Amino acid sequence: MCGIVGYLGNKQACDLLIDALKRLEYRGYDSAGIAMWNNGAIETARRKGKVDDLRKAVSSGGFEGTMGLAHTRWATHGIPSERNAHPHTAGDITVVHNGIIENYIEIKERLRKDGHEFLSDTDTEVIPHLVTRYVEEGRSFVDAARAALKELKGSYAVGIIRKKERTLVAAKKESPLIVGVGDDEYFIASDAPAILDRTNRFIFLEDNDVVIFTEGSLVITDMEGNPVKRVVSTVAWTGAMAEKGGYKHFMLKEIFEQPRAIADTLIGRVMEEEGQVEFEDLSPPDLTKVRKIWMVACGTSYHACMIGKHMIEANLRIPVEADIASEFRYRNPILNKEDMLVLVSQSGETADTIAAMKEGKKRGVYTLGVCNVVGSTLARECDGVVFTHAGPEIGVASTKAFTTQISVLYMLMLYMGGKLHKMDRDRIKENIREMRKMPHKVQAILNISKSIEEIAGNFHKTKDFLYLGRGINYPAVQEGALKLKEISYIHAEAYAAGEMKHGPIALIDENLPVVVVSPNDSTYQKTCANIEEVLARRGKVLLFTDHESHEMASRVESVFTLPSTTYELQPLLSVIPLQLLAYYIANLLGTDVDQPRNLAKSVTVE
C-alpha cells in the first residue's frame, strides 16, 4: 500500500530519495521516513504525516551519503505514529518494507526469548532483528538477509542496509518492487513514477528475487543464492508524464487525458478496413471451447468488469460472471478448464486480484490480465495480457484507467466475436468506426466541463446523493457514486433505477439530489417513470442524457446533454461528467483530491 525507494550511486541521495517519495504520494500513506548511509554510519529520520514534514526534519543537515532508503507507510500493524514509521533498525541493520508478514508474532516471541527488544507495533520490525541474529551467528550480510527472508510468511518488498558496508539488499514476494538502472547508479522503487526523472530503464523483479547492489554492480539471485537473469526493459513513460502539467490536481489532469488515453489504447489494435481487432500480447486458448467467462477485479476495475459482462453477454451470448476479487476465492467458485478468467487491475499488483489469478491457474483455467503496468505481477503471471496504455495514473481515484479498461473489454468483445464468427466483418467494422469516434466525443464533454462545475457549486454542501442508472449504465453510476465517496467524503449510493422502489425511495425528500443517467435507449421510458417517482417526492434530479428532447428535461433541477453512441459504449461517455461532478464537488470542499484519506492507489495487501 505504501512506497519504497532506495539509491546506491555517486550522487548525494537525501534530496533524491525525498523527491522520489513525493512522486509516490499517490499510493496513500500516513507517515514517512528516511535512512542515509555515510561511511559506516546510518542516520534515520521518521515523521508522522506528510513527506514535506520529513523534508523539514532533514533540512537542518547531517543526512549526507550516496546510499539510502526512504519509505511512506500506510498503517496495517500499529497506529500511524513516529515509532511505527519506517525505516526500522535492529543492531546495525536498517529495513524498509511493504506488505504483511503473517507469521511475525511467532517470530517476535522467539526473538524476545533470545533477548531482542522491540520498539514498535509493526510486523516489519522482525526483519532487521532476524537479519541481525544471523549476522551475529557469523553469516555475511547478504547471506543473513536471505536467511531472514526465507523465514517470512506473507508478502513483502524490502530494502535492507547495514552500517558496516556499502551494500543494499532488496527483495520481493507478492508485493511490487522494481529496479532502476542508471549510469553508475541504481534505484529501487515500488512504482516507476518515483524514479522516471532519473531513468527509464527498469528490471521488473519476480517473486523471491534477491538483488544485491554494491559499488558499480548489481547481482540478482534466488533465495538460495543461485544467480538469476532478468531483462532490463526500457519504458516509454517519461517523468513529465507524471507531472501535473498545469492542472490543479493529478485527478483533473487525468480526467482530461482520457481522449488521448483511449486513442492510445486503440492504436495498432483496431483495423477498420479489415474489420478486425488484434492484440499484441495475447495468446488465447481455443475460444470455441470457452463455455463461460469470469471477470474478476476490485473497486473501479470491478465496475469495468460489470460493463464488460453486459457487452459480451449481449453480443456473443457467452455467460459472464463479474466477481469481486476479495470474495472470489472464499466461496469456492465452480471453475472448469473450459472457462476463461479475465483479471482487471490498473496496477497489476492488486493483492486480491493476484490471489484470484493464482486460484484460476491452480485449477487449470486460462487467465487473461487487463492492466496498465508493463512488468507488473499480473502482466507477468497471466497466460495472456492486454495493456490499457493509459500512462501513469497518479491520482488515487481512478479515472483514465477505468475508461481504457472499458475500451479494452469492448475490443475483447469484438476480437472474440470475429474469432468465433458471432459477429460478421461488416458489424465489426461498424463497431470499430464508432469506437474510433470516442476520443472526440469524450473531448466534446470535456469542452463543456464548466457546466458540471456550476452544478457542483449548487450541491457541494449536500450530505447524501443517490445515483440511478439502468442496464449498462448501472455500473457507470456505481462508478460515479464511488468517485464522489472517495474524494469528497460525501455519502453516495448507486442503484439500478428499477430497484429504487424496493427500499431507497424511502430516502427521497427535498434535500436529496438524485443523479440519473437516462440515455435514449430501450430503458428510456422505464427511467422516465423512475424520475417521475423521484419528482413526486420532491427530490432534486440531476439528469445526464443523450436525448436532446428528454421528456423530463423541463422538470428536473439540471440537465447535461451527452453525445450519442451505441448502447455498449454509453458508459465511456456517461462516466465522464460523473467523474467531473465528483472532482468539482471535492475541490469546492477543499479535500485532498489526489490523496484522499484512508485510501491507497495500489492495494497490495488483502
Residue partners of 234: CB distance under 8 A and separation at least 6 = 200, 201, 202
Q: Mark residue 2 as left, alpha or beta (left: phi above 0; alpha: psi -120 to 50; beta: remaining).
A: beta
Of the candidates 535, 395, 513, 504, the one whose C-alpha atom is nearest the C-alpha of residue 460 is 513
Cell triple for 445: 464533454
What cell numbers appear for 160 in the block?
Answer: 535492507
**Consecutive H or E run containing 55:** helix 51-58
How many Cα atoms are found within 13 Å in the side-chain-facing hemisphere of 76? 23
Which residue of the set 173, 429, 485, 601 is catalytic?
601
Of the candidates 2, 305, 371, 382, the residue annotated as catalytic is 2
Active site includes 382? Answer: no
Coil, strand or helix at 186: strand
Q: How far apart are CA 312 and CA 323, in angstroms?
A: 15
The 10 Å CB-count burial string (b at 16+, else e) for 358-376 is: ebbeeeebbbbbbbbbbbb
Whether the upstream peptide bond of residue 284 has omega within 30° of 0, thus cis, is: no
Per DSSP, what are the bridge partners of residue 323?
296
- How far apart are alpha carbons 595 and 141 in whole angstroms? 37
| Residue 77 grid cell | 500493524
> Which grid coordinates are listed for 87?
525505516
Spell out the residues 6+ positions from residue 341 whose beta carbon is closer than 8 angstroms to its own: 293, 294, 296, 335, 356, 357, 360, 365, 366, 367, 368
Residues with Cβ within 8 Å of 233's Cβ and at least 6 positions away in sequence, in order, are 201, 202, 203, 204, 374, 375
Q: How far is the first Cα of the chain from the last one, in angstroms, to the nearest whole number?
A: 10
Whether 11 is catalytic: no
Half-sphere exposure of 488 (CA within 13 A, CB side): 29
Q: Which residues are catalytic?
A: 2, 601
